[in-house]
Structure 1
Amino acid sequence: MTDATSTRFAPSGEPVRVWDIWVRLFHWSLVASISTAAVTGFILGAQYIALHIASGLIAMALVAARIVWGFLGPTHARFRDFLRKPAEILSHLTGGDTGRHLGHNPAGGLMMLGLMAVVGLLAHTGLAGLGGAMKTGPFLSLPYAIGEAGLELHEVLALLLLVMILAHVVAAILESRRSHENLARSMVTGIKESRPGDHPSHLARAYPRLALLVIAILAGAIAVSLRQNTHAPAFAPVVELDEIFAEECTACHLAYHPSLLSAVEWREIMGGLDEHFGEDASLDSETNARITEWLISHDASTAQTRPAHQFAGAREDPTGSITETRAWADLHESLSERTFFRAPIYSKSNCSACHADAETGWFSPFQIRISKETPR
């Protein structure tokens, strides 16, 4: 079998090893990590965010390793073997280029570069959103607005990546039919058959040890970066923040953090305690005023958490019910109505049944555990 460094001289019809083991491992590992990220991001709920983040970071690491191998790998792994000038790409797309490329053709090379770029942007916008909006990870010092913009851009890029992957798959099928070779199989075996008229390649020697050293250095730098400032500031439960509020409110229900409602909503609640969701929860005027002042001074506009920002907008007809807000509905849209009325949850207002940090108002996605149904 002919080695990848001598494809220029391979006799017609002889098997040629085009894709080395590292290129193939990169390709299929990237397929697996992106598939996992897509399923956990588009289909599964927030409780799978840790797996989503892990798969995204793996995809980013794979792209970084592939970039290194693009400079230090063998002939067809090199960027110079498949990154072509615009004129050559256009010629290939319009049928002017009749020769066959053993490695990536000009259009395939451009697509590969685009896919790698989008994966890299996805990783960075995801980390920006995780830091700015959720105050977790290496970018937790980013302003909330930048984090939220990062999450929105992350969703757009994710959709773009799916479209690009679909286009890549369709193009591979069409090219396989046009060239009468199974491109997907060659990415498994690494083997193609040499043919007359194949484009000659710029022969290159691989430097695996140097590549491994560079990748190890990059991995270490990334690991150190990801470990820095990875935890959000500690948020104390409400019961530890205000003794009077805790004493009066926890007697009947969860002590909801003041950052979950706007000042308008809290005034509505505290002004109607004589008919508090079907119960008389009236307080003496001094205690009522004291709790009202505390709630308003710690309302949604004062906290840098994602739930606070989403609950900050006052409604035209405030009811004081957290579960009737648009923000609550958006945050729980992936769950069925039945989920909230089965044991041990029983109610939409029983936040602590699924959120371990409910009383802190933080509602970290890493603290979500949807309770399993238990016999009544």
Structure 2
Amino acid sequence: MKKLLLILPFLLVGAVIIMADDDDEHGHHGFNKLGDVAVANNTVYQKECGSCHFAYQPGLLPKRSWNKMMNELDNHFGDDASLDPKTTNYLKNYLIQNSSDNSLEYKRSKKITSSIASNQVPLRITKTPYFIHKHNEIPKKMITQKDVGNIGNCVACHTTADKGIYSERDIKIPNYGGWDD
């Protein structure tokens, strides 16, 4: 019985260490099940924005960027994406409330926010310093190929992007396979 009492603390500590180091299928530790950014699960956002392109998670840009973008929907990257005022206001509030600077509990949102100078207002996620740093080693031919198209097509390579998870272990570049820098 004394041996069991002596061994028990070591077994408990060992179990805690194993659990803390036990990545789930998305590379997240047992104690923290948050994704890299909050999932964009708003149905209005999915319908209005996701019908034209991937519904980028609000946590990928700061509130000042979303505010400017929603104020300029008549020229949304060359297209008129204007919405009625009620829907525009609703979506602007959703995007601002869930922006990177309001989602600092998420790893990538925090890193994106800290990478952007306070006087910068990036409208493209791909122009944020954090994004550029994370993608700078990818050969251009992998990005411009037909099955990817451009650097902003997250879901082409990030197999769990729709879940807000951008882990390297979930990257599968079409026609090339996994990526590890």
TM-score higher than 0.5: yes
For 2:149 and 2:170, locate their aligned partners in 1 and report how far apart those are by CA, in whole Å.
Answer: 20
5 Å matches for 1:1-376?
222=14, 225-228=17-20, 230-231=29-30, 232-233=32-33, 235=35, 237-238=39-40, 241-303=41-103, 304-312=105-113, 313-314=116-117, 316-372=119-175
* 1:239-295 residue CA offsets vs partner (Å, 9 max, x unmatched): xx2111111011110010010000011011111111111111001111001000011
For residue 365 of structure 1, report the CA deviation from its aligned partner.
2.9
Instruction: Give the Å deviation of 1:222.
Output: 4.3
Counterpart Cα distance in 2 of 1:360 and 1:314: 27
Cα distance in 2 between the residues matched to 1:223 and 1:354? 35
Return the alpha-carbon distance in structure 2 between the equivalents of residues 318 and 292 of structure 1.
15
Aligned residues: 156
Secondary structure of 1:250's match?
coil
Shift of 1:314: 4.9
Partner of 1:274, secondary structure, is helix
Query: Displacement, 1:359?
Result: 2.3
- Assess if the C-alpha contact under 8 Å between 1:266 and 1:295 holds in 2: yes
AA in 1 matched with 2:50: T
Which residues of structure 1 form unaligned runs of 5+? 1-217
Gaps of 5+ in 2: 1-9, 23-28, 177-181
> C-alpha separation between the residues in 2 aligned to 1:299 and 1:275?
21
Q: Relative to total residues, which structure has the larger helix share, 1 or 2?
A: 1
Higher relative contact order (CA closer than 8 Å, sequence separation 6+): 2
- Do the aligned partners of 1:260 and 1:308 also contact (CA within 8 Å) in 2? yes
Distance 1:341 1:301 in 2: 31
SS in 1 for 2:138: coil
Q: CA deviation at 1:329?
A: 0.6
Q: Which residue of 2 aligns with 1:96?
A: none
Q: Residues of 1 paired with 2:11 and 2:80: CA distance?
A: 60
Cα drift, residue 323 of structure 1: 0.6
CA-to-partner distance for each residue in 1:80-115, whole Å, 9 max, x for gaps?
xxxxxxxxxxxxxxxxxxxxxxxxxxxxxxxxxxxx
Indicate conservation of the 8 Å contact 1:265/1:319, yes or no.
Answer: yes
Distance 1:315 1:362 in 2: 26
Residue type at the aligned position of 2:149: Y
TM-aligned CA deviation for residue 336 of structure 1: 1.8
- 1:116-167: per-residue Cα shift (whole Å, max 9, x none)? xxxxxxxxxxxxxxxxxxxxxxxxxxxxxxxxxxxxxxxxxxxxxxxxxxxx
Q: 1:325 to 1:226 in 2, by over 3 A?
A: same
1:221/1:333 CA distance change after superposition, 3 Å: same
Question: What is the CA deviation profile of residues 10-31 of structure 1, one whole-angstrom value per residue up to 9, with x for unaligned ones?
Answer: xxxxxxxxxxxxxxxxxxxxxx
User: Does the Cα contact within 8 Å between 2:73 and 2:80 map onto a contact in 1?
Assistant: yes
- Pair member with larger Rg: 1
